[in-house]
Structure 1
Amino acid sequence: MTERIWEDLLSEQDKQVITKAGYDKEGASSWESRGLGENPMVLVIDMQQLIVGDDEPILDAVEQYRTAMGEIAWRAIDHMEPFLEFVREHDIPITYTRVVPSSYDDPDHPDLAIVDPVAPEEGDTVIDKSYASAFYGTDLVSRLIRADVDTVVIVGNSTSGCVRATAVDAQSNGFNVVLPQECIFDRIEASHKIGLLDLWMKYAEVLEVEEVKSYLDEMGVLA
């Protein structure tokens, strides 16, 4: 059973509401907010140098890049790197996004590069974006439809920002959304936990990475 990392933030009334209203079993009542399809794709969100930074405490990392998350990001990479290796072994497609801030004139600037441990490999798709959602102003929907994808597995950052926006847009466009919680991170712990809670209640399956690997392993067998 998945460890719900947000439980320590909930009051007793919060827990009762989640149970009595059925969010723990069914998610949102207005649409099918949770599900696991048969043709997944992994989306790696904005794992770039200016967001990751060096492997050091975040208060040190922000001295170089105000957006950097330092060791918070690198602890997620510890899970993300072997997870992506597993995904590749199962021939599941991977798409990367890069955010290109308007303050950067050169889209090839080293600050915008995806960090080496989780960098794209030959055959992977990289989509540049200007806003939080990987869907806004990009051709991602068309790519997913052409590939007959029904489920997006999202890793990267940040839980309360680009991951959330991408997950909501994915669900709104009819795709199942899966979030391996160890592979997602945010600079503020409360934002991370609450973001995962909100996404779990209304838009996505939030699972531990080993549970997601079991699901993907089954999809590999079906393929």
Structure 2
Amino acid sequence: MSSEEDLLANYKKAYDNRVGFGSRPALIMIDFCQAYFEPGNALYSEVDEALESALRVRAAARAAGVPVVLTNVVYHPTGFDGGRFYEKAMPLKNFLKGSPMGAFGPGLEPFDDELVVSKQYPSAFFGTSLASTLTAAGIDSVILTGLTTSGCVRATCVDAMSHGFRTAVVAEACGDRHAAPHEANLFDMNAKYADVVGEAEVVAFLEGLKA
């Protein structure tokens, strides 16, 4: 048995569990900002396919009447409200208010009925009203897509679970600058915090809500 098979078998003994989708989901699209799609930018990553997948999930969610939330990162022009995160992660300068790099990525202009949540830290829940907004709307679960898998997606995933939402992460609709942290974080989120699912399964679930 290979070391990878040993690892999977070891985790399966402890973490082989699935919570499933909730009955009142919301779709959260995390930080699909222009900086990740801009060649030459420090944040540039090959994540076009992740955005394309997320857009297909979004179309299915909208057709099913499922609320859609888009997040972005916006800082005061001085960066003062970025705290230690801004101090540590130098590429966050892309998200100073007014920077074109903070705009939504190709094809992701928000619709009028979609909620935009601006944040200063990795999680979409930390320091924002997102949890109370979803709770007040009767939402019991979230479907996560976004960038990056090892950063803001993971942080949002952990906080979503901590706030009591059933959480699903769409593997193809998340991206990172390298396959290793992407796969490692999907593996760990699936083990402990969420169900990591495929695009086809999520779309089928959303289409079923229309019946």
Identify whether the pair has TM-score above 0.5, normalized to the shorter chain: yes
**Secondary structure of the corresponding residue to residue 181 of structure 1:** strand
Structure 1: 4+ residue segments shifted above 6 A: none
Q: CA RMSD in A?
A: 1.8
C-alpha separation in 1, matches of 2:96 and 2:193: 35
Write out aligned runs for 1:1-223 (5 A).
11-21=4-14, 23-24=15-16, 26=17, 34-53=19-38, 61=39, 63=40, 65-69=41-45, 72-101=46-75, 102=79, 103=93, 107-221=97-211
Q: Residue 67 of structure 1: CA displacement?
A: 1.1
Deviation, 1:105, is 8.4
Offset, 1:145: 0.8
Rounded to whole Å, the distance in 2 between the matches of 1:76 and 1:176 is: 22
Does the 8 Å contact 1:150/1:176 carry over to 2?
yes
Q: CA deviation at 1:116?
A: 3.3
Q: CA deviation at 1:37?
A: 0.7
Amino acid at match of 2:139: V
Aligned-partner Cα distance in 2 for 1:12–1:109: 46
Does the residue aligned with 1:117 lie in a helix, a strand or coil?
coil
Q: Deviations over 1:139-192 (max 9, x none)?
A: 101111111101110111111100000000000110011111110011011000
Code of the aligned partner of 2:44: A
CA 1:131–1:10: 2 relative to 1, 3 Å: farther
- Aligned counterparts of 2:60 and 2:94: Cα–Cα separation in 1: 34
How big is each residue's C-alpha offset from its partner over 1:6-46, in whole Å with a ceiling of 9 and x where there is no partner?
A: xxx9623212212333x22x26xxxxxx3311000000100
Q: Is 162-171 or 143-152 further displaced after alignment?
A: 143-152
- CA–CA distance in structure 1, aligned partners of residues 98 and 115 of structure 2: 16
- What one-letter code is carried by the residue in structure 1 that aligns with 2:9? Q
User: 1:104 & 1:195 partners in 2: Cα distance?
Assistant: 24
- 1:41 and 1:15, CA in 2 relative to 1: closer, same or farther beyond 3 A? same
Q: Tell me the SS of whatever aligns to 1:81.
A: helix
Going from structure 1 to structure 2, the CA distance change for 1:106 and 1:14 (only over 3 Å counts) comes to closer
| Structure 1: distance between partners of 2:139 and 2:29 | 15
Alignment deviations for residues 110-143 of structure 1 (CA, whole Å, 9 cap, x no partner):
2111023122111111111001000111110111
- Give the C-alpha shift of residue 73 in structure 1: 1.3
- 1:106 positional shift: 5.4
Residue 51 (structure 1) shift? 2.3
Paired residues of 2:74 and 2:118 also in contact (CA < 8 A)? yes
